[in-house]
Structure 1
Amino acid sequence: MKINWGTGIVIAIVSFMAFILYFVIKVQSNSKYDNELVVEEYYKYDADFSQEMQRVQNAHDLAQKPVITKTAEGITIVFPLVYDPKKIKGNVSLYRPSMKKLDFVTPISLSKPTLLIPKSKLVGGRWDIKMEWQYDGKPYLTKETIYIN
């Protein structure tokens, strides 16, 4: 049987489409490849963006900012001594881009100016830290990325 060039092109295109379709189905059906959204309620998140930018600007304008560092014990957040630790309220959200199941939120409730997030709660890799806090009724937002070994 002889195949002309038109039939060869059709066979090549169909083979290529089958190849691509195979990988699409494989990725969609395998739980190893997680296809989650970055933000659950995207439109609600987008509507609050201007308020978020104001909180980021408030944090940026501070003369003395909180310091987020990686230590041997975990992640340490140190607030400057000019702030009364009992008046600082808020949450620290730790977001793991590669796996949503590892995300968690820690409330800020201090008796001293240091907050420790223990290393036992943290898996190695990239962590996006979003610290939303208030002091004397003024909201602040601090964002940072830390890599844990």
Structure 2
Amino acid sequence: MKINWGTGIVIAIALFMSFILYFVIKVQVNSKYDNELVVEEYYKHDAVFGNEMKRVQNAEDLAEKPIVTQTTAGVTIVFPDVFVPNKIKGTVSLYRPSNKKLDFETSISLSNPTLLIPKSKLVGGRWDINMEWQYDGKQYLTKETIYIN
């Protein structure tokens, strides 16, 4: 049996499509390849994006901003002296881009201007920190990225 060019091209395309389809199905079925979203309900998240930008701008307009540093004890967040520590309320969300199961939140309840997140809670790698806080009725949102060794 002799195969002409047209038949050979059709067979090659069909084999290539089968090859690609095999890998697509393998990635979707296998739990080793995790396909999770960054935000569960991203349409609702986008609906309040304007409010989020206003809070980010409030934080950028501050003369003295909170400082996030990595120490041997963990991650410290130091609020400026112009703020009375017990009037600062909010939450600090630590987001791990590579593994959603490691994400956690800590509430801001201070007696001194420093908040410590212990190193025992943090696995090495990249962490995105979102601080949603308010002081005297004004809301702020500060975003930082740190790398833990």
Instruction: State whether TM-score is above 0.5.
Output: yes
Structure 1 residue ranges (4+ consecutive) displaced by more than 4 angstroms after TM superposition: none
The corresponding residue for 2:37 is 37
Instruction: Give the aligned residue type for 1:145.
Output: T
Residue 2 of structure 1: CA displacement?
Answer: 1.7
The corresponding residue for 2:145 is 145
How do 1:90-105 and structure 2 match up within 5 A?
90-105=90-105
Structure 2 unpaired stretches of 5+? none
Structure 1 unpaired stretches of 5+? none
Cα distance between partner residues in 2 of 1:31 and 1:10? 34
The corresponding residue for 2:69 is 69
Deviations 1:23-76 (A, max 9, x none): 111111121211011111111111111111111111001011100111111111
Would you say 1:87 and 2:75 are equivalent positions? no
Instruction: Give the aligned residue type for 1:20.
Output: I
Instruction: Give the aligned residue type for 1:45.
Output: H
How do 1:1-40 and structure 2 match up within 5 A?
1-40=1-40
Cα distance between partner residues in 1 of 2:90 and 2:42? 22
Cα distance between partner residues in 2 of 1:75 and 1:146? 9
Deviates more, 1:27-36 or 1:54-63: 27-36
The corresponding residue for 1:127 is 127
Aligned with 2:83: secondary structure? coil
Please give the TM-score of this superposition, normalised by the length of structure 2: 0.96
Instruction: Give the aligned residue type for 1:68.
Output: V
Count of aligned positions:
149
Instruction: Give the aligned residue type for 1:41.
Output: E
- Give identity over the alignment, percent: 81
Residue 135 of structure 1: CA displacement?
Answer: 0.7
Cα distance between partner residues in 1 of 2:25 and 2:140? 44
Please give the TM-score of this superposition, normalised by the length of structure 1: 0.96
Residue 99 of structure 1: CA displacement?
Answer: 1.2
Cα distance between partner residues in 2 of 1:102 and 1:68? 20
